[in-house]
Amino acid sequence: MSKVKALKIVSATKVFADKVVLRGVNITVEKGTMKTTLLSCIVGLENLDDGNIETFEKNVSNFKGRMLASLIGYMPQETCLYESLTIMETFAYFGSLQCMPLHKILSKVKILNTVMDLPNLDKIVKQIRSTKKINIDFMEFIALTQGANPMSTIMNYIFSGGERRRVSLCVALLHDPEILLLDEPTTGIDPLLRERIWAYLRLLVESKGTTVFLTVRPSEPKAVME
């Protein structure tokens, strides 16, 4: 017995003015399909048993090292953060994996925090910048900030799931990826912050041409589209 098609799109096309934004899109999703598994396959965490996934006309399985990670910002449904790191150390660590210099990490964190409103972050960024040390590695960064961060910025002491989700979303956005894969990014986040996040994601699409692929709860599609 075949499964019920929860979603089926056949040759969908949409034109705004003289710009084609959808061209012959075909998607079939059976009821019970695991969206999280699909996202994991796109970023290469899981391998397909059949078929293929391409990004920028290249099979994801053919990307070497961190090439795919440099193109994609991924926020999983389960928050995956190092509990022993502070928020700023978390950004420094993931930024270093993308070969981002400290001054670029600090600049991007400052921008992101206007949206995410994370605790004590602006104060910490200002303190680090005052040292005028830019070209340092991750371990030097930890030594530099040792004792400078209040306990409230250490993951073990952040009890709010919403705060953890915001940090995870910042990590996905940190290196300005061309593709964003976000699995229920605003779960556990209060309504006002959700609106700011959706507005920021729309800005990325409109101003930078970022491709955003996301999953949301049934109550949120209208907020995403507005």
For the chain, give every domain's residue range.
1-32
Q: What is the pTM of this model?
A: 0.76
Token output for 35: 């969206």
**How far is residue 57's CA from residue 21's CA, in Å, rounded to a whole number?**
18
- The DSSP line for 20-72 is EEEEEEEEEEETT--HHHHHHHHTTSS--SSS--EETTEEGGG--TTHHHHHE
* pLDDT tens track for 31-64: 656 677 888 888 888 888 888 888 877 888 787 7
* pLDDT tens track for 165-208: 999 999 999 999 999 999 889 888 888 899 999 999 999 999 99
